[in-house]
Amino acid sequence: MFEFKNTADFAYELDRNDSLAKFRDQFHIPQVNGKDAIYLCGNSLGLQPKSTAEYINQELSDWANLGVEGHLHAKNPWMPYHEYLSVSMAKIVGAKSSEVVVMNTLSANLHLMMVSFYRPSAKRNKILIESDAFPSDRYAVESQIRFHGFDPEECLLELSPRKGEHLIRWEDIEERINSEGEQIALIMLGNTNYYTGQRFDIQKITRLGHQMGCVVGFDCAHGAGNVPLDLHDNEVDFAVWCTYKYLNSGPGSVAALFVHEKHHTTTDIPRFNGWWGHNKSTRFGMRDQFDPIPSAEAWQLSNPPILSLAAILASLKVFDEAGFSNLREKSMKLTAFMEFLLQDLSNDLIEIITPKVIDERGAQLSLLVKKGGKALFDTITSEGVIADWREPNVIRIAPTALYNRFIDVYKFCEILKSQLVTA
Ligand SMILES: *Cc1c(COP(=O)(O)O)cnc(C)c1O
């Protein structure tokens, strides 16, 4: 698909021909030893857009000058502030703007979604997850199973790679859903696995799950802002994701969720309610009767932290300006370039466990380190690479289309190779 050369000149040439190269200037790049770090950790914490401070300062100054009047009279009135994010966020996940809402944090939203969408019965009470699910997701799912009086030993089903393999095969997913689907209440997968970088086929999984009568939800923490998503057309029931990874909105920033519109007006879905989910025109009438907004906003509980939403707004503007399909184009190329540069390394030193098929992955490559271990990682860190180490032996590398250059990828590979050979 791509033709690459293994030289620094070629990397510089790719950067010169990159129509998105200018976006790097819109970000603060961390410094190591007085130089730009080789920052390949956008899958963990995205970098700060330079405009973020402006967006937050606007709200700080409106708060200083207006106090409570800011709810209605700030430049960007706070009362409907979450609505300013919906259109751009909906584009990121392929949804209607009425289907997404920015609120709470990821694990909290996952619980709220399971309150509504995990409704176990005597016959159908299981939840299907990946064996390598993010720990928080596993804790959330397990505790929901217990909360309903069931036993995770019996009700938590895990999809695992086959012995000796790292990735989950589609035929194994298919077989599992076909054979056990009638007992599965909820299928809840990370759409892009945080550990291996494997991207699952949302459409196929959702379709099959629905055929078997299961509810299907996805954790898109590693998908949103990274891979194309089509949550509405794929008829996903719900999804959750955070905004501090590929969406560059700051540590612990507010998360988001998706509820398919087919569930917006169903009255028999249980939901934990709060005043921010109530009909906007009568919310301040402080009525006794809850009157849900007929959209994903019904799941909101509280008035949201405006300073954090301001950071998300700043970041989404950058995405809007760059265009997600352009970003994905570049992202595929950046990652393929890294794969190309690493291909001459022996499998005894390092093994890329992320799928080779471009459609089955996002930006990240997960490198299984067979020699050198954590010491190797610490050395490349001291050389100015910021990446992510996962016990027992995986380095996760995620070049990010908005601010990484091809030369970053090239330099990283050079540093890694020089250390591997001496390790
Ligand atoms: C990052 C991540 C989390 C983190 O959860 P928070 O509630 O934001 O702390 C959870 N699940 C997945 C899959 C993640 O990638």
User: Do 347 and 226 share a structural domain?
Assistant: no
Task: Ligand 1, residue 219: give the atom nearest the CA.
Answer: 13
Q: Which range marks the domain in which residue 383 is found?
A: 8-36+323-422
Q: What is the pTM of this model?
A: 0.96
Report yes or no on 52 lying in a domain: no
Report yes or no on 311 lying in a domain: yes
Last residue of a domain, one of 278, 299, 319: 319
Report yes or no on 352 lying in a domain: yes
Residue range 353-410, pLDDT digits in tens: 999 999 999 999 999 999 888 899 999 999 999 999 998 999 999 999 999 999 999 9
Report yes or no on 41 lying in a domain: no
132 lines ligand 1 (CB under 6 A): no
Report yes or no on 240 lying in a domain: yes
String of DSSP letters for 240-260: EE-SSSTT---TT---EEEE-
136 lines ligand 1 (CB under 6 A): yes
- Which of the listed residues 136, 195, 227 should we mutate to test ligand 1's pocket, taking the one with most ligand atoms within 8 A of CB? 136
**In this model, does residue 423 exceed pLDDT 70?**
no
Report yes or no on 45 lying in a domain: no
User: Do 129 and 274 share a structural domain?
Assistant: yes
User: Do 253 and 239 share a structural domain?
Assistant: yes
134 lines ligand 1 (CB under 6 A): yes
364 lines ligand 1 (CB under 6 A): no
Enter the tokens of residue 202.
């949302």
Enter the tokens of residue 114.
């399971």
Last residue of a domain, one of 319, 334, 355: 319
Domain at 332, CATH number: 3.90.1150.10
Distances (CA, A) of 155 to 126, 149, 159, 187, 216: 4, 11, 13, 12, 16
User: Do 330 and 256 share a structural domain?
Assistant: no
Residue range 254-300, pLDDT digits in tens: 999 999 999 998 988 999 999 999 999 888 887 789 999 999 999 99
Q: Find the 42 Cα to ligand 1 centroid distance in Å.
A: 14
Report yes or no on 2 lying in a domain: no
Last residue of a domain, one of 296, 319, 342: 319
Residue range 341-367, pLDDT digits in tens: 999 888 888 999 999 999 999 999 999
- Which of the listed residues 41, 44, 103, 107 should we mutate to test ligand 1's pocket, taking the one with most ligand atoms within 8 A of CB? 107
User: Do 230 and 115 share a structural domain?
Assistant: yes
Report yes or no on 51 lying in a domain: no
